[in-house]
Amino acid sequence: MMTALQAFEEKKRFVHLKELLRSANHIQKIKKGTFLFQEGMAANELYLILSGKIQMSKMSQDGKEMCFRICSAGEIIGELTLFTNEPKYLLNAKVMEDGEVAVIKKDYLEEQLLLNPTLTFEYMQWLSNHARRTQTKFRDLILLGKKGALYSTLIRMCNSYGIRLKDGSILIDLPLKNQDLANFCGTTRESVNRMLNALKQEGILSIHKGKITIHDLDYLKREVQCENCPIEICRIE
Amino acid sequence: MMTALQAFEEKKRFVHLKELLRSANHIQKIKKGTFLFQEGMAANELYLILSGKIQMSKMSQDGKEMCFRICSAGEIIGELTLFTNEPKYLLNAKVMEDGEVAVIKKDYLEEQLLLNPTLTFEYMQWLSNHARRTQTKFRDLILLGKKGALYSTLIRMCNSYGIRLKDGSILIDLPLKNQDLANFCGTTRESVNRMLNALKQEGILSIHKGKITIHDLDYLKREVQCENCPIEICRIE
DNA sequence: AACCATGTGTGATATGTATCACATCTAATG
DNA sequence: CATTAGATGTGATACATATCACACATGGTT
């Protein structure tokens, strides 16, 4: 779990990049249930989320959904279209919660990134960390079986969206349906339901109003033989 | 499958980056069966492969291996340690075939990358593509089941290591054991063996001296409902 | 309060996949 | 060419997971 200091450090990161993004072209309202963009669409802009929540996912041809991350205020989306040939969005951006995004022209951002070494540095750092996170995440999802996949997802969600409560429990501050979790870890809502209920029985976690609270994170870590990798790596996104 | 033109374009990519790497500090011989580096080791250098083959993989705590890519001449490894805080290798680099690598000091490369916009641009482009490849690859591995995972892996290997033969078949120019393939797609060697034999029966592929030749790539693509994503994305690495 | 849509919970069953235990096969080596 | 180590091939079985079908809970609406 993130300590107060770590959270502080995390916020200090990429300050120049975020500063640049704030000088955006215009602001756009986003409404729950709509898509900000969908995979395959030509990508000329990227977005800084000002408020609201957006789920980034990718569909398989047969209708199954792989969920990558849930983004909220301060996060950049559409970033992987930068510096690509025929830029198309690779993911779907589905709005989970009303809000606003700042719209940034891709061309402008690319130009600025190359002109300013500090920006370049921050962006490369972000990309490297992204790639590193992805490697450990997918190793877990693929090698640990579905139960391990769920446990690993819960652990990462604690690090990405968790709030430490007074009793030491961690509230994952996102309303998550069984189906959402299933989409994150490549299983079915029924399996997720059974596994969550088993964990509830054991007192490992509890659920109120669609939000999960983890009471015994160490249990989950033991079960997946967690190697306690650095906090910037062991995250959902 | 890559056309001649595409292959040519691919080779032209990242020329400045590779040029820089050739001005390396020194050359090091690598011997089959040894590790150039292992995950967790402090990372102060990265490498350009001059000859030989290196398999990049990550272990899970219970001894299972997730294989990410097999690199040969012209490829850079250890690159994801650039611009990270406490740089440690994230993967194991196991030598599959004797050869030589050029050793580049991490500090020097970081400095050069930031100083030269062309280099910066190439490296960012490479990182973006890497992230995009990873997203589609793991979606396939996680959502398609083990058979789909194997088929997807074979398709990507055609694009990464394939040589088109006169009769239109594609030779995957790597000696691959059943266990290697299993490590790539998160299954067991027995399962891989059964699936490969079924494909042999159907005439979809054949194997000589440990190298697989795909006779009917379209069959594999149909089975995984391949969406024919761009060649720089549908690859193993 | 009755209704409806959406989500959750759960048994029965089918399918997919791993595991175990061997029997070959093959290539390298003395 | 005999031996051996490593790789492949295959049945039997156990286990994990998905699928199906439906009951139940919940919250919002008329």
pLDDT in tens, B128-152: 999 999 999 999 999 999 999 999 9
Chains A–B, number of C-beta pairs less than 8 Å apart: 127
The CATH topology of domain A134-223 is: Arc Repressor Mutant, subunit A (1.10.10)
Q: By C-alpha distance, which of B83, B53, B215 is closest to A119?
A: B83
CA of B205 to C1' of D11 (A): 24
Comparing A86 with A100, the larger pLDDT belongs to: A100
Instruction: Mark yes or no for CB contact B84/A117 under 8 Å.
Output: no
Render pLDDT for B179-207 as a digit per residue (tens, 0 to 9): 999 999 999 999 999 999 999 999 999 99
Q: How far apart are CA A146 and CA A118, in angstroms?
A: 41
pLDDT score recorded for residue B15: 82
Q: Give the mean model confidence (pLDDT) for residues A93-108.
A: 92
CA of A189 to C1' of C7 (A): 11
Domain boundaries defined on chain B: 4-115, 145-223
Please tell me the distance in Å from A167's CA to the nearest CA on chain B: 30
The sign of the torsion formed by the CA atoms of B139, B142, B145, B151 equals positive
Q: Is residue B130 within 8 angstroms of chain A, CB to CB?
A: yes
Task: Tell me the chain A residues in contact with residue B113 when contact means C-beta distances shorter than 8 Å.
Answer: 124
Instruction: Mark yes or no for CB contact B232/A85 under 8 Å.
Output: yes
Instruction: Mark yes or no for CB contact B66/A120 under 8 Å.
Output: no
Closest A-chain CA to B65:
A143
Do B172 and B213 contact (CB within 8 A), yes or no?
yes
The CATH topology of domain B145-223 is: Arc Repressor Mutant, subunit A (1.10.10)
Q: Is residue B42 within 8 angstroms of chain A, CB to CB?
A: no
- Sequence-distant (6+) residues with CB within 8 A of B216 are B202, B203, B204, B205
Render pLDDT for B14-67 as a digit per residue (tens, 0 to 9): 888 877 777 777 899 999 989 999 999 999 999 999 999 999 999 998 889 999
Whether CATH 1.10.645.10 fits A4-115? no
Q: Is the CB of A211 under 7 A from strand D?
A: no
Structure tokens at B65: 């291996």
Closest B-chain CA to A13:
B85
Q: Is residue B135 within 8 angstroms of chain A, CB to CB?
A: yes
pLDDT score recorded for residue A34: 92
Read off the pLDDT band of B232 (50, 70, 90). confident
Q: How far apart are CA A167 and CA A206, in angstroms?
A: 14
pLDDT score recorded for residue A120: 86
